[in-house]
Amino acid sequence: MRLKIIQVGDPVLRQTARALTPEEILSDETQRLVRDMQETMYDAPGVGLAAPQVGVSLQLAVIEDREDLLKTLTPQELQEKERRPVPFHVLINPKIVQMGNDSVDFYEGCLSLAGFSAVVPRAPAVRVEYFDGRGELRRIEATGWYARILQHEIDHLGGGLYIDRMHTRTFTSLDNWNRFWKAKPIAKA
């Protein structure tokens, strides 16, 4: 079932989401929420969706950067962003356990800020610990765009949005991004 994506201004997006217990992870309700979030993310389309974005204040996110979404990018963009397909997976109670001090700037958007984008500095590599949809502890070491997606979704679970981290002068509507900034290097923004 496709869920409604909550937009900026709704208090649920600014709350720290509650961790799930092992029993809750395996519950039919949580498994149904995961399926519904996956369908909603595909339909949007997006590469990640956190439970607070559908009005549920739980430490749960789904991620998938599908091959078909990469077809709109040039080989140069794919290389610059270190963007590769990422298979579907569920993150429950995720924690960033390691992140470097350096950062990389790219335009970023969010399904909960429909129609807008801004340049956001993010760590180019992270290590994340989380529970998967079966309640098993997992670790990810991610780089490039995948690291950015993880940081973005984990921010949601702590009540954060990309606008909290953005370079404010770069905030733009998607129409104007396509018109003025899409083909320009980030340094020009």
Choosing from 64, 129, 141, 153, the catalytic residue is 153
The residue range of the domain holding 90 is: 11-188
Q: What is the pTM of this model?
A: 0.96
Q: Is 129 a catalytic residue?
A: no
Q: Residue 36: is its pLDDT beyond 90?
A: yes
CA distance 29 to 50: 16
CA distance 154 to 169: 24
Whether 179 maps to a domain, the answer reads: yes
Whether 3 maps to a domain, the answer reads: no
Q: Are 5 and 40 in contact (CB under 8 A)?
A: yes
Whether 4 maps to a domain, the answer reads: no
pLDDT tens for residues 120-139? 999 999 999 999 999 999 99
Going by C-alpha positions, the residue among 135, 36, 38 that lies closest to residue 88 is 38
pLDDT tens for residues 151-165? 999 999 999 999 999
Whether 6 maps to a domain, the answer reads: no
Whether 117 maps to a domain, the answer reads: yes
pLDDT confidence tier of residue 96, bands split at 50, 70 and 90: very high
Whether 118 maps to a domain, the answer reads: yes
Domain count, the chain: 1
Q: Could you tell me the CATH number of the domain that includes residue 144?
A: 3.90.45.10
